[in-house]
A and B are shown apart, each in its own frame.
Chain A
Amino acid sequence: MVGVAICLGLALAGVQGAPSVPAGEPGGKGLAVRCAKALVCDEEGTVIDRAWILVRDGEIEAVGPHGELEVPPDYAILDVSDRWVMPGLIDLHSHRGGTLQDINSPVYQANPGLRVHNAVVPGNPALEVGVAGGVTTVLFIPGSATTIGGQGILLKTSAPDFEAMRVRDPGSLKLAQADNPKRWGYGMNRIMLNWHIRETLRRGVAYAERWRAFEEGRGEEPDTDPQWEVFRDLVARRTQISAHTQVYQVIYATLRIVREEMGLDVYIDHGTFDGFLAAELATELDVSAIIGPRSISAQNKGRGIDHDGKIVGVAAEYQRRGHPMIGFNTDSPIVPQAELALQAAMGVRYGFDDADMGTLRGLTTVPAQTAGIWDQVGSLEAGKDADFLVCPGHPADPRNAVELVFIEGRKVYDAEEGQTF
């Protein structure tokens, strides 16, 4: 009996002495990734040929070329020296964080107090499939059945539990204009919607201003109202409004009402049809254009849209007008979550000039900066989450399957164990 106990004790001690935490993860030893190309996706769009990427405790420790960057001797080595490594892709328009049927509650016309975080289902198959497409961060947002559908949440696509998935909550306040919220009821047309959006935002901002006054020692403590709480984050620039807005006239209203009048951070989260006609104004007001799920615009009689019969690429048209912050989204499930990179490919097909890899920027840097999570994700820079993917070439080419995906240093997808996309 004693002998057995000792054996057990030794076995336990053995386990504790050499913890089986894989390299790169928090608590594990360091991981050095050797690759053909490191697409850093920093502000400058740096590309390092034959690079090392050092990962420790779930974070990027350093990135540098062979021969220059020293790899500490105890680091585990992942040799993908004929592959590209780039930051995980970010999708700022997804409805696939959890149960699809629970994210549209059109009881009232505007619902700034609703939160989709209640609908998150960690490890749900639709999101897991997204990982296989290299998507590591999504903005899971409510549907567009009402002008303000509620608060979205920024999530990592693969993590053990809800807490680990959460990047930021609220991830955004979802605003929807024109077509979809018009269906809410009789008489809900664009002028009504715009009045209503303005009215709601004004009340929300006023609420936040009362709180700010109190916090700065001016005025009484206001009552807490969950319906308006999100505006305190908005006014303090801790979150943004993600706007379901497309068609020139509608985007124009978004820019004027939300950005100019209310002074809130907002980004275009469709921007399609002839929305690019507002590209110059969006540039001037520093509003990003995250484009999708549509990629092209053709003659549309019902909307009075005609580009002289041409079929034009939406991203290309923003680019042609000098818009500097063009990203891509899927509106998953409209386009499956895993096909985010294909959205960029379609941008290129229809005229987007990818000479400086603007597509990669639009899948990583632009959405990270737009959503205010640039300090955490979106590039392979020291101190950021080690969210990266390994791919045989440009991920926009459907023929290049993503082979490995890491989130915070943890391997979450390996095509060799079963290629799911």
Chain B
Amino acid sequence: MKSLKKLTTTLLFAWGFSLGFQAPLQAAPWDEEDDSEEAEASEEEEEEDRYLAIVGGDVYTGLGGVLRNVTILSKNGKIQAIEADPFLPEGTEKVDARGMRVYPGLVALSATNRISRGLFGSVELPEDHIDHEAEGEHHGHFYASLAQSHIEEVGQDQEDHFFDAQVDTDAVDSFDPYSQYLVLALATGITTAEQGSTALKLKRGEIEGVAMKDKHLTSVSFGSPASRRSTREKFERAAEYLREYRAWEDLNDKEAKEPSRKGVDGGTLNILLGRNLARFGANSRDELLGIARLAQRYGFRPVIVGCQEGWTVADELGRAGATAVVTPRSRRFKDEKLVRPGGTSIENAAILHAHGVQIAVTPSNTGFELSGITGRDLMHLPTEAGFAVRGGLTNEAALRAITIVPARILGIDHRVGSIEIGKDCDVILTDGDLLHYQTFVQYAVVDGKLVYDKEDEIFFAHIRPRPELPPLDPVQVEEEDEASEEPSEEEEEQDDEDEGDEDEEDEEEEGDEEDEKGDD
């Protein structure tokens, strides 16, 4: 547990610097973390380097580029090379991606705690784990109302995800790395999931390194007039305190009294300092406009969950630098008394995106629905993104909406959410276009380890079994003694296949891929 905390601390720092955030020289009173340990938490004892190569797939980087027929080489869980034919060190494990597409692992926001709690994991939490703060309740209510609108008679398995937003829990303490739901998440292509504002890497059979980032999001309440007032007051007080503190700092006078932090909300302070992102749950136009004004006034970039009427105020939200977490299919009818446009629109995501709002997509049910209703739970996250495309969003932006944008929201975009050299090797291999309903994840790789193979798991192996290709590496076949009986024919075939591959590489290679070898 201790080393884990160290790791988290290190990560926080790494993230801070990556954003160009300057830690004040003098430790300010809001710095609660003890950073003296930082130096110690350097490299762990070196074991043997672990290499994994994902060979011959079409790599959809998640940044717009598609690299055809390339190999991703991972060293100790980090992407070291994305090249046509990189040098593969001895003992490199290989995953055959020929004919497949390789995408960044998906990032699921507000995921059910079932992912981490296992098949028999209870959703009931101890009393003291439930945060009755106004914002928590507001958020929980938001999810509850969403859930209700979609479930009505179905019932039973649905309750679990109400808790997610309210629960303030140490997710790792209850993480079950053998959970069947974790396997189903990987089967969907999800390799990172947020639970109660903690970003969890869905490692299988491991706890170490599961917690990627904790409490990057601060829930801000803005629903009722009372909560708006109190939120404005919190921001005003925190901003005032920061001004006083900076002035005091500039004064550099030992006699001068340090400004009091009394009554300053810590979460709000973190938002203003850019350490946390403010997360709002808001759907109606007036709330959204209020949030946009608040954000511009105090200089922060809001994350808005829901954002159903966002398309009516897209310009304002774009100028406020907002990120919208939308469920493209959610439906709310316009209040007919109003003259202005309102209600939901299938074009919401596309319109917001066109106005510079970053789009993340989350399904209406962020749990796993195994009682039979399909297409609207976490197991169909790409389908939900497909509905954003229906409304006019591009396929690329829809992919980003379930990869890099949610990674940014969780503050882990320097590690996951796209396929780039130096990032974590969390990728998925699919048998087709990820956003097509027929596509299945064939393999999932997390931290450079193969953690899911459709053919080896009980759930979906029987659905359109993967066709067998001739082996990737003829040398390996020779070593297997059964195959040695009829070597001549097989080898010939393989040679042909290999030649074919090389030809394709020459033709289709997009020249400008990053070819710097990993930066350790």
**Which residue of A125, A293, A300 is within 8 Å of B373 (Cβ)?**
A293
Q: Is A333 on the interface with B (CB-CB < 8 A)?
A: yes
Closest chain B CB from A297 CB (angstroms): 6
Q: Is A309 on the interface with B (CB-CB < 8 A)?
A: yes
Chain B residues lying within 8 Å of A343, measured Cβ to Cβ, are 375
Chain B residues lying within 8 Å of A218, measured Cβ to Cβ, are none
Chain A residues lying within 8 Å of B461, measured Cβ to Cβ, are 310
Contact A349 B459 (CB under 8 A): no
In the bound complex, CA of A164 to CA of B154 (Å):
33
Closest chain A CB from B40 CB (angstroms): 46
Q: Indicate with 1 or 0, residue by residue over B415-440, a CB within 8 angstroms of chain A CB atoms.
A: 00000000000000000000111100
Of A3-11, A113-121, A150-158, A391-399, the one contacting chain B is A391-399
CB neighbors of B among A307-332 (8 A)? 308-314, 316
Closest chain B CB from A74 CB (angstroms): 37
CB neighbors of B among A332-346 (8 A)? 333-336, 339, 342-343, 345-346
Number of interface residues of B (CB under 8 A): 33
Contact A400 B464 (CB under 8 A): no
Chain A residues lying within 8 Å of B435, measured Cβ to Cβ, are 399
A346-B437 in contact given A294-B373, A311-B459, A401-B346 (Cβ < 8 Å) = yes
A316-B437 in contact given A295-B374, A420-B346 (Cβ < 8 Å) = no
Closest chain A CB from B391 CB (angstroms): 7
Closest chain B CB from A400 CB (angstroms): 7
Chain A residues lying within 8 Å of B152, measured Cβ to Cβ, are 333-334
A298-B370 in contact given A334-B152, A334-B154, A398-B390 (Cβ < 8 Å) = yes
In the bound complex, CA of A311 to CA of B347 (Å):
33
Contact A399 B389 (CB under 8 A): yes
Closest chain A CB from B295 CB (angstroms): 29
Contact B374 A336 (CB under 8 A): no
In the bound complex, CA of A399 to CA of B397 (Å):
13
Chain A residues lying within 8 Å of B3, measured Cβ to Cβ, are none
Task: Name the residue on A nearest B439 (C-beta).
Answer: A349
A350-B331 in contact given A309-B458, A420-B346 (Cβ < 8 Å) = no
In the bound complex, CA of A308 to CA of B435 (Å):
29
A348-B375 in contact given A309-B459, A310-B459, A401-B346 (Cβ < 8 Å) = no
Q: Is A22 on the interface with B (CB-CB < 8 A)?
A: no
Contact A312 B462 (CB under 8 A): yes
Contact B375 A399 (CB under 8 A): no
Q: Indicate with 1 or 0, residue by residue over A21-65, a CB within 8 angstroms of chain B CB atoms.
A: 000000000000000000000000000000000000000000000
Contact A397 B463 (CB under 8 A): no
A348-B438 in contact given A293-B373, A296-B374 (Cβ < 8 Å) = yes
Chain B residues lying within 8 Å of A351, measured Cβ to Cβ, are 462-464
Contact B387 A398 (CB under 8 A): yes
Contact A296 B154 (CB under 8 A): no
Closest chain A CB from B351 CB (angstroms): 11
Q: Is A272 on the interface with B (CB-CB < 8 A)?
A: yes
Chain B residues lying within 8 Å of A346, measured Cβ to Cβ, are 374-375, 437
CB neighbors of B among A107-130 (8 A)? 125, 129
**Which residue of B153, B370, B438 is within 8 Å of A311 (Cβ)?**
B370
Contact A308 B458 (CB under 8 A): yes
Closest chain B CB from A398 CB (angstroms): 4
Q: Is A81 on the interface with B (CB-CB < 8 A)?
A: no
Chain A residues lying within 8 Å of B391, measured Cβ to Cβ, are 401, 419
Q: Is A421 on the interface with B (CB-CB < 8 A)?
A: yes
Chain A residues lying within 8 Å of B331, measured Cβ to Cβ, are 129, 336
Contact B374 A397 (CB under 8 A): no
Q: Is A273 on the interface with B (CB-CB < 8 A)?
A: yes
Task: Name the residue on B nearest A418 (C-beta).
Answer: B345
**Which residue of A311, A333, A342, A396 is within 8 Å of B460 (Cβ)?**
A311
Contact A339 B463 (CB under 8 A): no
In the bound complex, CA of A335 to CA of B389 (Å):
20
Contact A310 B372 (CB under 8 A): no
In the bound complex, CA of A339 to CA of B390 (Å):
12
Contact B437 A345 (CB under 8 A): yes
Closest chain B CB from A389 CB (angstroms): 14
Residues of chain A whose beta carbon lies under 8 Å from any beta carbon of chain B: 125, 129, 272-273, 293-300, 308-314, 316, 333-336, 339, 342-343, 345-346, 348-351, 396-401, 419-421
Q: List 7 A-B contacts (CB under 8 A).
A: A293-B372, A294-B374, A299-B370, A300-B371, A351-B463, A397-B437, A398-B437
Residues of chain B whose beta carbon lies under 8 Å from any beta carbon of chain A: 152-154, 329, 331, 333, 345-347, 370-375, 383, 386-387, 389-391, 395, 435-438, 458-464
